[in-house]
Every structure is written in C-alpha cells, then in structure tokens.
Amino acid sequence: MKVFLCGGGAGTQTIAVNKRLNEVIDHSKPCLYVPFAMEHTRYADCYKWIKGELENVDIPSIEMVNTADELVAKNMNNFGMIFIGGGNTFKLLHDLKTSGAFEKIKEYLNSEGVVFGGSAGAIIFGKDLEACKLDDTNEVNLRDIDGFDVLNGTSILCHYTNRTAEKDEKSRQYLLEVSKHRRVIALPEEVTLFVNGEDMEVIGNRPYFLFEGGAILKQPEDSETRVL
C-alpha cells in the first residue's frame, strides 16, 4: 500500500511531497485524476489545476474521469497513480460507494498501486468522516461514512491551522470531544503523511496534531518515520 495523505496544500506547499511522489510512481503510466469532491461544473477548472500541480511530476499524461461509473470501467493497472482531489468529502465518498468505485480503489491499493489524496481525497482514507463534520455539509445524505481506514482506526482532518483562528478553535474543541471515542490526526496544508506498507513517513515543514482520549498531542518536529 502506498498512499499520500496531503493536508490540502498546493503549489509551494507541495514541492517536497511531489518530489517524494516522483520517486515511487511508475513513470511509464499516466495519472488518473478523480475530481468528484467538486461540483461537476468545476471539473474543467479542476483539470487545469491538476496539470499545474503535477507539472514537475514525471508522468506521460493526466486522465480525468467525469463520472463514478467511468471510474469503475477503468482498468486500474493502466495507471501509475490515482490523484483524488479536494472539495466536499461527503459527496466524494458518496459517489465512490454508490458506484462500486470504493472497492475498486481498495483493490488498486492492495495491488501496490499509488494513491495521492488531497484534503477530501485524504480524509476518506481515515477511519470515517467524523472529523470533518464541521467543515463539510452532508447534502447527499451519506449514511455509511466509513473510509478506507489506512491509519488503523484514525480519522483525518485537513487544513488545520491554515484557517481563521476562530475556525481552528472550533475545530480544536470539536476534535477534543470526538477524540474521546477515536483517534484523529489533524493535518496542516504543508504536511503530507506517506503510508508505505506498515510505515508512515511525515513529509513537510510543520508538525501535525494527534487528538486522542480527549487530549491533543503535537507531533515532535524531529519525527520523520514511524511504524503504524
């Protein structure tokens, strides 16, 4: 399993992680881009954005899917990586689960495929979507909010400490309460966790925050790799 969980950064914030991504992908195969967290009317702009974001990653091309059914029909073995972008996390997970694409991505991961998830695309790889309920509205009435759970029971929140002080404080209070029943990792935009098999590598120039047992722990800045 090789999955990059990005806190939602872009541009200069993701230079280091894109360099690491470039070291682990198959350069002979294209990238498959999944924009489902965004509204369909924004897909064209999403495609322009991803082309710029992956400009320095050595891939022959980027292929974007416009519907979940189109994603299900793809032969995942034809792609060197899957990039799942940000937006509304509930919409994204709803589209993946109702179409069967969720299981297809899981199979791809288990077959040593490389997945990069940014913001909503990272949150779905946590235990569930509990951590992002303050950030995203569940307009699709998604009931099954369980994610891929690649961090062994830990939920994920992105953009932490990159918003207004008021919003970050509301998130902090909410996560302190939520963490009484589950672990939550809150990622700043400048931080990406690279889950590589049983290891987790921290990429970025800021620490992340672990909420557990109703308390918060700041990740030591000198901690780069740990076993899950």
Query: What percentage of the chain exceeds 90 in pLDDT?
Result: 93
Q: Report yes or no: 17 and 48 within 8 Å, Cβ to Cβ.
A: no
pTM metric for this prediction: 0.94
Residue range 98-113: average pLDDT? 96
Instruction: Give the helix, strand, coil percentages of the chain, each rounded to 5.
Output: 35, 25, 45
d(CA 83, CA 50): 9
Closest alpha carbon to 60 in 87, 89, 81, 46? 81
* DSSP annotation of 213: T
Residue 114: pLDDT band (50, 70, 90) is: very high
Residue 171: pLDDT band (50, 70, 90) is: very high
Closest alpha carbon to 17 in 189, 161, 219, 167? 189
Q: Does 228 have pLDDT greater than 50?
A: no
Classify 62 as helix, strand or coil: strand
SS3 readout for 139-202: CCCCCCCECCCCCCCEEEECCCCCCCHHHHHHHHHHHHHHCCCCEEEECCCCCEEEEECCEEEE
Length of the chain: 228
pLDDT of residue 218: 78
pLDDT of residue 205: 86
What DSSP letter does each residue of 119-144 carry, written as one string? THHHHTTSSBSGGGTTTS--TT----
d(CA 84, CA 32): 9
Residue range 45-50: average pLDDT? 97
Closest alpha carbon to 38 in 110, 94, 79, 89? 89
Residue range 27-39: average pLDDT? 97
Residue 227: pLDDT band (50, 70, 90) is: very low
Q: What is the pLDDT of residues 138-170, one digit of tens each?
A: 999 999 999 999 999 999 999 999 999 999 999
pLDDT of residue 225: 46
